Amino acid sequence: MEDGGRRTEDGGWRMEDGGRRITNPKSKIVNLKSQGFIMRKFHSYEEVNKDIHYYVPREELIEQTYNSLLGEEPDYGGHYITVWGPRQSGKSWVMREVVDKLKRRDDFEVAILSMQFKTIKTDELILKLLVDGLSEWFDRDLPEVKNWHTLGSLFSQKYFSKPLILILDEFDSIGDDFINKFATEFRRLHTNRLNQRGVPSSEKLCLLHSLALIGVRSVLGIENTGGGSPFNVQRSMPIPNLTFEEVDSMFHWYERESGQIVEQSVIDQVFYEMQGQPGLIGWMGEQLTEDRFNKDRTKPINMALFKKVYGAALYILPNNNIINLISKARQEPYKQVVLKLFNTKKKLLFRYDDTVLNFLYMNGIINWEKDVDEDERYYTKFPCSFVQRRLFNAFANDIFPHIGQTYDPFDDLSNTVTDNSLNITNLMRHYEIYLRQNRDWLLKDAPRRETDGRIMEATYHFNLYLYLQDFLYDYSSRIHPEFPTGNGRIDLIIDHGNQRYGLEVKSFSGPRGYRKALVDTAAYGKQLGLAEISLVFFCEHITDENRQKYEKQYQDAKTNVIVEPVFVVVG
């Protein structure tokens, strides 16, 4: 991968920056900073600068977008496209790279303008924003455009000597009404150009050769109440997350420049937690490599440092993208869907034309995954473990700012917890008693399902997590949720008395789901390196007979892990 250097014949790297060439053999890491080399930095806000920041070239994506704007036969016209993706996915950076590549040609005029202007209220002002931006970009006088029907006159041979490739950034910030009006006119201009079949692009009446609209949403007219999209001539160009190889290359680039080793387990964990989201990858890179946490660069960046940084990222470090994401997830009708995602009984189907799911997807709150056994089903999931964890923490504290007394101070807890041991089954019995005694006030304002008014499953997950934190507070135990799949599955890990305990938390759905859960939990226990793991089922009610039947220890034949099922009645 091209990342500021190239492989040498001996397997090393040749860095090329500022005219200097420094060979870094694969067998050792050379501290370029000690040689007077100006190091790059990881970067997570505003735009990445290739001269001073670590980056990945994304050459294939840039080439694909470049070719779409040129068109298959550039002399006859390019495409009108929408470039979209969640916030901090690198949309603007990719398009500026495309602009730089287009500028190297001499047969087009190219402009990239920001349409971010929150106070626009009239058609005349929004059109003025476009005209003023073009006038400033090209340093030429352009005519006033006071109504939508005369927008096309702006792109005539009177004002442009070559075909124009126009890129409008932050396009969705102008508001739905203006989006639809612009899109309608752009469609008309594109259609008129197509009607001049056989006329070269530079000789057509309208010189708007191609157009790219950049936004968080896809600008497909999805919220257009008038029916179909007014911009159905466009090609859709989503901006994907970084691949593992791309994330890996940036951290190894840092190694080569700094001389500080980054353990592979750290890179693996960063990718796992962030799933290649560019803004979050850059943010974690900043925290891991800069002075606040990385105080001794003679030592490797190891998992101990990662855990320190990750804990700070969860609880004390501000990140505007995450703050914005949580704020949107707390709003209705989006909150109801986000809470549904914590449901372990049934996956939520993903449909792009569902306006609520579309909004959550475009704002980086959810993603989708394909079922490996079904060709036509896509399911909704959280975009990464870190986002799911932040949402989990936020909703847990929103719903339960106070959880009350978790046990009677005079209770004998010796069969449940000691300094060195923990009995999960007995602990769940205490939790069941706590729920029964406090549910009237505790769950009075809890989120409920719109369909039947029942308390949402996620409520109990949040409450159990907070209950365990409070119950074990005096023992300095560490309780943290794990989200191994991103699609609602929740596991609680308890580190207590130099031992680790695992709890997989599910809602009881019947015998078939019970049997599958036993096997899945055993596999997860094996992954955690545990000989035993608990499987906690929430249920509305259970008879003594069924407790005896289902609360039986299970040892998995494949992994030899012992699973201890325990039921918690919440009804």
Looking at residue 449, its pLDDT comes to: 81
Show the tokens assigned to 53. Answer: 């920041």
Residue 444 in 3-state DSSP?
Answer: coil
Q: Does residue 285 have a pLDDT over 90?
A: yes
- Mean pLDDT for all residues in the chain: 86
Looking at residue 305, its pLDDT comes to: 97
Show the tokens assigned to 297. Answer: 């660069």
Q: Please identify, in words, the CATH class of the domain defined by 59-238.
A: alpha beta
Q: Does residue 101 have a pLDDT over 60?
A: yes
Looking at residue 15, its pLDDT comes to: 37
| Tens digit of each residue's pLDDT (9 = 90 or more) over 122-169 | 888 899 999 999 999 999 999 999 899 899 999 999 999 999 999 999
Least Cα distance to 55 among 320, 251, 337 occurs for 251
Looking at residue 234, its pLDDT comes to: 54
pLDDT band at 348 (very low <50, low <70, confident <90, very high): confident
Show the tokens assigned to 235. Answer: 């090609």
The counts of H helices and E strands in the chain are: 16, 16
Show the tokens assigned to 5. Answer: 């250097």
DSSP lists the bridge partners of residue 237 as 83
How far apart, in whole angstroms, are the C-alpha atoms of residue 428 and residue 407?
12
List CB contacts of 426: < 8 A, sequence separation 6 or more: 415, 416
Number of Cβ within a 10 Å radius of residue 397: 11
For the chain, what are the domain ranges?
Answer: 5-55+242-317, 59-238, 327-569
Q: Does residue 396 have a pLDDT over 50?
A: yes
- Give the chain's radius of gyration (CA, Å): 28
Average pLDDT over residues 14-33: 40
Q: Does residue 503 have a pLDDT over 80?
A: yes
Average pLDDT over residues 508-525: 92
Average pLDDT over residues 236-254: 92
| Tens digit of each residue's pLDDT (9 = 90 or more) over 286-305 | 999 999 999 999 999 999 99
| Tens digit of each residue's pLDDT (9 = 90 or more) over 167-220 | 999 887 888 788 888 888 998 999 899 899 889 999 999 999 999 988 865 554
Average pLDDT over residues 479-498: 81
Query: Rounded to two decimals, what is the model's pTM?
Result: 0.83
Higher-scoring residue by pLDDT: 346, 338: 338
In the chain, what percentage of residues exceed pLDDT 70?
A: 87
Alpha-carbon distance values, 507 to 3, 343, 562 (Å):
47, 8, 20
Least Cα distance to 433 among 565, 536, 568, 538 occurs for 568
Looking at residue 23, its pLDDT comes to: 35
